[in-house]
Amino acid sequence: MMTRRELVPTRRELALTRRELVKGIAAGAAAASVRAEASGAVLRAADVHPGNYPTVAAVQWIDAQLRERFGGEIALTIYHSGVLGSEKDTLDLARIGALAVTRVHSSVLNNALPVTRILSLPYVFDSTEHMRRAFDGSFGDAILAGCAERGLLGLAIYDSGSRNFYNTRRAVETPRDLHGLKLRVPQSDIFMESVAALGASPTPLAYGAVFSSLQTHLIDGAENNWPSYYTSRHFEMARHWSETEHAYAPDMLLMSKRVADALPAEQREFLVATARRSVTLMRERWDETVRASRQSVLDAGATVRAVDKAAFKQAVQPLLDRYLRDPSIRALYDELRGFA
């Protein structure tokens, strides 16, 4: 079982500052950065999560496979714990070729990449098992292929678990209990609309800004998965957790298409195939981390409430119906429901 020491970043891990790293990357942006990323074959990868988070561990495994296969001709340097900025920052860097690989939550892509919107809609997945079946099949292939629309190569879809509400003020069992609460949501229109439909006040913030916003009472709570709730230490202030399981929006591992195209074909094809294989490792680590995180926050005094899930589904059904009037979203919805 993973411990808090393994999950939470140390000061040494955070020694490199965001300012130093972003300055270095920005200095060689655009075409020059593409050449730099591909020529030296040491590719930069970014994640906002700490060093032993499952998504980071999966990318570290990809790096090990690359080094073994090509004898160091190609490798990944992984900057975790948000030292390269927010997910939006790293996504922008990847799109211009100034960063090779980034792991972002799929909600970051919703506004710019329509194919990902289905992933954030409420109650479209029934369970973790349903979600994994869909992502391992043609549905997942379609989502990854759609990333090319924005200059990105979809490498893998990683679990991000079920999302649940937590807050500083009170237990939540029905949508009515959310009324009046200011809740952080990802910077996605769908998440904002979903929380508003439930009667709360959505506040879009970067993930890294949540802790201080809870401290200063800018927000009353947020929604996320067990590992993020634990590693971010949000449970220290927001102790009321409610098992709404309102979304299963995943993480996505993406590569700059410009950097990928500059690599030799053999290296590019191996990297893509290895990224797909990393999903198995990531899921094993994820399941272990969920169990450890849940137990740790319960031991620390957080309370967990079951909810009237039927009432939550009913409250967001008009929102879901509206999005499903889009034929492209409807087609993806019908496909993923076929994996239920």
Burial call 217-249: b when 16+ CB within 10 Å, e when fewer: eebbbbbbbbbbbbbbebbeebbbbbebbbbbb
Contact present, 159 and 250 (Cβ < 8 Å): yes
Phi, psi of 28 (to 5 degrees): -120, 40
Same domain, 45 and 21: yes
For residue 197, what are the domain limits? 163-248+296-337
Report how far residue 171's alpha carbon sits from residue 165's, in angstroms, rounded to the nearest whole number. 10
Q: What is the pLDDT of residue 36?
A: 44
Same domain, 28 and 144: yes
Q: What is the pLDDT of residue 159?
A: 97
pTM of the model as a whole: 0.88
Q: Specify if 124 maps to a domain.
A: no
Same domain, 13 and 102: yes
Same domain, 187 and 256: no
As a whole-number percent, the residues of the chain with pLDDT over 70 amount to: 88
Q: Specify if 141 maps to a domain.
A: yes
> Which of the residues in the chain have pLDDT under 70?
1-40
Give tens-digit pLDDT for 288-325: 999 999 999 999 999 999 999 999 999 999 999 999 99
CATH of the domain at 325: 3.40.190.170
Looking only at the bridges linking them, the beta strands covering 251-256 and 152-158 are antiparallel
Same domain, 173 and 155: no
Q: Specify if 119 maps to a domain.
A: no
Same domain, 82 and 149: yes
Q: What is the pLDDT of residue 11?
A: 37
How many domains, in total, are found in the chain? 2
Same domain, 88 and 154: yes
Same domain, 178 and 315: yes
Query: How far is CA 126 from each of CA 118, 122, 133, 160, 162, rounded to the nearest angstrom?
Result: 14, 10, 11, 14, 10
Report how far residue 337's alpha carbon sits from residue 340's, in angstroms, rounded to the nearest whole number. 5
Q: Specify if 300 maps to a domain.
A: yes
Q: What is the pLDDT of residue 41?
A: 80
Q: Specify if 121 maps to a domain.
A: no
- SS3 category, 112: coil
Same domain, 47 and 73: yes
Q: Specify if 231 maps to a domain.
A: yes
Report how far residue 161's alpha carbon sits from residue 105's, in angstroms, rounded to the nearest whole number. 11
Q: Specify if 290 maps to a domain.
A: no
Same domain, 238 and 319: yes
Report how far residue 276's alpha carbon sits from residue 260's, in angstroms, rounded to the nearest whole number. 15
Looking only at the bridges linking them, the beta strands covering 201-204 and 42-46 are unpaired
Burial (CB count within 10 angstroms: exposed 0-12, middle 13-18, buried 19+), residue 196: middle
Outline where DSSP puts E strands in 4-89. 42-46, 75-79
Q: What token pair was written down for 306? A: 């079951």
Same domain, 216 and 146: no
Contact present, 165 and 221 (Cβ < 8 Å): yes
Q: Specify if 115 maps to a domain.
A: no
Same domain, 83 and 184: no
